[in-house]
Amino acid sequence: MSFGSRAHVAMQAYGPACIGIDPHPSLLEQWGLPDDIEGLDRFARTCVEAFAGQVAFVKPQSAFFERFGARGVVVLERTIEDLRHTGSLVVLDVKRGDIGSTAQAYADAYLDDDAPMAADAITVSPYLGFGSLTPFFEVAEKNDAGVFVLALTSNPEGPDVQHAVRGDRTVAGSVLAQLAELNAGASPMGSYGAVVGATIGSSSEDLAINGPLLVPGFGAQGGTVDDIRRLFGDVIDQVIPSTSRGVLSAGPDVAALRDAASRVNAELVGS
């Protein structure tokens, strides 16, 4: 099954929420864990126990593992391996983007199913030109994986680039239109998604890309169900709201983490 098909099935089974695994120093401290490799390992194992096969999407943030060096990357590899094929899909948040053979190497590292760190999908940046992402799409297609492309982010610096106009389209609008072309004809939806922040306020862009819309900023960062309903309207069934701290702050108790994730899904489904 393509990633788009698997994502649709997972959303129907568990609800649309994506739960981040962000071993931020403040969360390690909140959980009573040391800010070292042992604390990282315990944090990650607890998240796997709580979320694997319980939610549709789990999104490890690579940077919070990488800060511990090679040993942190080993923990990330094991975390991805433990999560995959449990019913939950792994969206690895790496925001990679490069050109030529380097882009190909990144694609092979994260999307080739035989790679040690292979995920179900990854995040990428299109700001070296949308065409630079071709290796990611090609490897994803061969391996039934997904790609989420940054489009409309909620950081205050984003609009300087994303709202810039080229011809009759904004940069973000061009990214969305090209994703729609890649997803054309796919059913129930394509495998190539966009990242659109829950706290961008409003947008006149066409978000109907026939693909998944990964929406960070929901929950603790201020995004609400009303924001999602207002922003996404007719394509709300393709929205994957992402939250990290809003759920992780319930830890380290596994049952409490699961309950927090369930409440998020119930809130979203009730919308």
Domains of the chain: 3-269 (3.20.20.70)
Tens-place pLDDT, residues 188-229: 999 999 999 999 988 899 999 999 999 999 877 788 999 999
The pLDDT tens digits of the residues spanning 126-183 come to: 999 999 999 999 999 999 999 999 999 989 999 999 999 989 999 999 999 999 999 9
| Residue 113 in this model has a pLDDT that exceeds 70 | yes
The answer to whether 183 and 210 have CB atoms below 8 angstroms apart is yes
H or E element, residue 147: strand 146-152
pLDDT at 166: 87
pLDDT at 135: 98
* Residue 271 confidence (pLDDT): 53
Q: How far apart are CA 88 and CA 116, in angstroms?
A: 18
Confidence band for 246, pLDDT divided at 50, 70 and 90: very high
Banded pLDDT at 2 (limits 50, 70, 90): very high
Q: How many angstroms separate the CA atoms of 257 and 46, rounded?
A: 9
Are 189 and 7 spatial neighbours (Cβ–Cβ below 8 Å)? yes
Query: Which positions ≥6 away from 34 have C-beta within 8 Å?
Result: 28
Q: How confident is the model at residue 24 (pLDDT cuts 50, 70, 90)?
A: very high
For the entire predicted model, the pTM comes to 0.97
In DSSP notation, 190-252 reads -SEEEEE-TTS----S----SS-EEE--BSTTSB-HHHHHHHHGGGGGGEEEEESHHHHTTTT
Report how far residue 5's alpha carbon sits from residue 187's, in angstroms, rounded to the nearest whole number: 7
DSSP secondary-structure letter at 88?
P
CA distances (Å), 189 to each of 6, 128, 179, 204, in order? 10, 26, 12, 22
Average pLDDT for 185-189: 98
Averaged pLDDT for residues 1-12? 98
- Alpha-carbon distances of 50 from 24, 131, 153, 242, rounded to whole Å: 18, 38, 28, 16
Q: Catalytic residue positions?
A: 95
